[in-house]
Structure 1
Amino acid sequence: MLQFAANLSMMYTEYDFMDRFSAAAQDGFPAVEILFPHEYSPAVLASQLKANQLKLVLFNAKAGDFANGERGMACIPGREQEFQDSIYLALDYAAKLDCPQIHVLAGIKPIGVESEVLLETYCKNLAWATEQAKSTETLILIEPINTRDMPNYFLNYQAQAHEIVKSIGADNLRVQLDLYHCQIMEGDLAMKLKEYLPTGLVSHVQIAGVPERFEPNIGEINYPYLFSVIESLGYTGYIGCEYRPQIKNTTNGTSTGLDWLRNLKTK
């Protein structure tokens, strides 16, 4: 049976952040993911998770000055110390929140820096991060992201991500397969799932409708078919609902758009 996690940074925005945990639990989600949890203390977040019997399955390490357009530091030469500090902080949060996975954003490609230098920096930073995470049994994840939402982002394609993971060879380095980003950049989603899920290198899948990033039943992707493919391949990880509800900032707006999930559970 497929397991879904609500993304509390993008869903339930009609509520204050701390009220989103109970809203997700009331809608039947067993798990949640958060983009950047760092403005809240681990103790406060842990209390909400415990009170609502939710598991935190993924969050992002700090990604630089996100408000001003930065999208990670891992590929950027000269930001190594800041990158390492972000990993130390992320591992502390993961330990205190019992979260098994941390997504590390690659970063926007700096102008004038050769691709080979960016790749070398990226791989060295990831290798360092996985070494720090070994003793905690935490997985480090990388995610290809589309260039429409994030122009000049360093990592864009599944093959690129899988090649990097294999080249580093760390047992705790995995790929995050976001079907929204993959559809925009590559398409052929069923074949991508059949190619990459059996490798064991994908530990988290995410979904959203394309092109608007609304609910998965809005747009061009046939998610019921893809869910059947995912289930047939024996995937046991979570599927993160990283979408922006079409009906938002109104009472129960997110819940109103969950017919796709309710229909799935009744089949």
Structure 2
Amino acid sequence: MSRFAANLSLTFTELDFLDRFDAASKHAFSAVEFQYPYDFDVQEIKQRADSAGLPIELFNAPPGDTFGLAALASPEDFQQSIEQAITYATVLKPKKMHVMAGIADVTSETTARYVENIRWAAQQLDKLDVVVVIEPINHYSVPGYFLHTLEQAYWLIDSIAHPNVKILFDTFHLQQIHGNLTRRLREVHGAGLLGHVQVASVPDRHEPGTGEVNAAYIFQLLSELGYDGVIAGEYHPAGETTAGLGWLEL
């Protein structure tokens, strides 16, 4: 049976961020994730998650002003951002952290910088038993994003050469980049690189199952593959959040 996580950066936004943990606990969620916790006190986030009984599955490393830093920042600046993320991860104990690449042309320089930076992040977060996940993001949503295909992700992971780096498989992005979600999901899982799964409708990024992707089929496929992680709903509700939670029953 599938287990689901609520993304508290995009859902339950009718409430203040810290109140969203309790709101999510009233529905069929096994965990939560969020994008950027850095404007909030880490101890208060931890208290709210514990009170709601929802473990924290994932959050993002600081993105800077460029939708991520890994392909852009100097080692010193990048490491400073990861140290901030580690301060939060030490308390919040997520299973995974999404380290974003940034908006940058793919050149030998940006590629080398990305490989070096992600390798360092993987080494540091491995000490906390936190998996680094990297995500291809489509150029319709984020024009110019450095990491924008699965083939590129495979090559980068091979170059990084550290076992603590996996792929965040987001159906919203990968349907628009590649299509062929069934084959691609089998491919990533078969390579041992499936680190996390996020779902949303395509093309509007609303509730899973309301657009061109058959979310129920994806959930069944993940179950058949033996994926034992949570499936996170990273979407913008079409209306009030609780009115659109029927996808949890697909």
TM-score (norm 2): 0.97
The answer to whether the 8 Å contact 2:74/2:113 transfers is: no
Q: Which amino acid aligns with 1:129?
A: A
Match of 1:185 among 177, 183, 194: 177
The answer to whether the 8 Å contact 1:143/1:177 transfers is: yes
Once residues 186 and 133 of structure 2 are traced to their aligned partners in structure 1, the CA distance between those partners, rounded to angstroms, is 20
The answer to whether the 8 Å contact 1:175/1:202 transfers is: yes
Once residues 213 and 48 of structure 2 are traced to their aligned partners in structure 1, the CA distance between those partners, rounded to angstroms, is 33
Match of 1:75 among 52, 59, 71: 71
Aligned length: 250
1:109 matched residue in structure 2: 104
The answer to whether the 8 Å contact 2:4/2:28 transfers is: no
The answer to whether the 8 Å contact 1:100/1:137 transfers is: yes
Give the root-mean-square deviation of aligned CA atoms: 1.2
Paired residue secondary structure (2:127): helix
Q: Percent identity?
A: 40
Once residues 109 and 40 of structure 1 are traced to their aligned partners in structure 2, the CA distance between those partners, rounded to angstroms, is 29
Once residues 15 and 138 of structure 1 are traced to their aligned partners in structure 2, the CA distance between those partners, rounded to angstroms, is 29
2:246 matched residue in structure 1: 259
Counterparts of 1:213-252 in structure 2, within 5 Å, are 213-247=205-239
Once residues 53 and 28 of structure 2 are traced to their aligned partners in structure 1, the CA distance between those partners, rounded to angstroms, is 11
The answer to whether the 8 Å contact 1:94/1:100 transfers is: no
Q: Deviation per CA, 1:8-44, whole angstroms, max 9, x where unpaired? A: 0000111111111111110121200010001111100
Paired residue secondary structure (2:9): coil
Paired residue secondary structure (1:59): strand
Report deviation, 1:128.
1.2
2:41 matched residue in structure 1: 41
Q: Which amino acid aligns with 2:159?
A: S
The answer to whether the 8 Å contact 1:94/1:101 transfers is: no
Report deviation, 1:80.
2.5
Structure 1 residue runs of 4 or more that deviate by more than 2 Å after TM superposition: none
Report deviation, 1:127.
1.1
Once residues 159 and 235 of structure 1 are traced to their aligned partners in structure 2, the CA distance between those partners, rounded to angstroms, is 21
1:60 matched residue in structure 2: 60
The answer to whether the 8 Å contact 1:2/1:239 transfers is: yes
Q: Which amino acid aligns with 2:75?
A: E
What residue ranges of structure 1 are gaps of 5+ in the alignment?
A: 248-252
Report deviation, 1:167.
2.2
Q: Deviation per CA, 1:94-128, whole angstroms, max 9, x where unpaired? A: 11011121110001015xxx611111110011111
Paired residue secondary structure (1:149): coil
Report deviation, 1:83.
1.0
Q: Deviation per CA, 1:153-178, whole angstroms, max 9, x where unpaired? A: 00011121122112222121111010
Q: Deviation per CA, 1:209-241, whole angstroms, max 9, x where unpaired? A: 000000012111111111111110000111111
Once residues 33 and 191 of structure 1 are traced to their aligned partners in structure 2, the CA distance between those partners, rounded to angstroms, is 26
The answer to whether the 8 Å contact 1:165/1:173 transfers is: yes
The answer to whether the 8 Å contact 1:158/1:177 transfers is: no
Once residues 2 and 163 of structure 1 are traced to their aligned partners in structure 2, the CA distance between those partners, rounded to angstroms, is 30
Match of 2:82 among 79, 87, 92: 87
Q: Which amino acid aligns with 1:96?
A: V
What residue ranges of structure 2 are gaps of 5+ in the alignment?
A: none
2:127 matched residue in structure 1: 135
Paired residue secondary structure (2:207): coil
The answer to whether the 8 Å contact 1:62/1:72 transfers is: yes
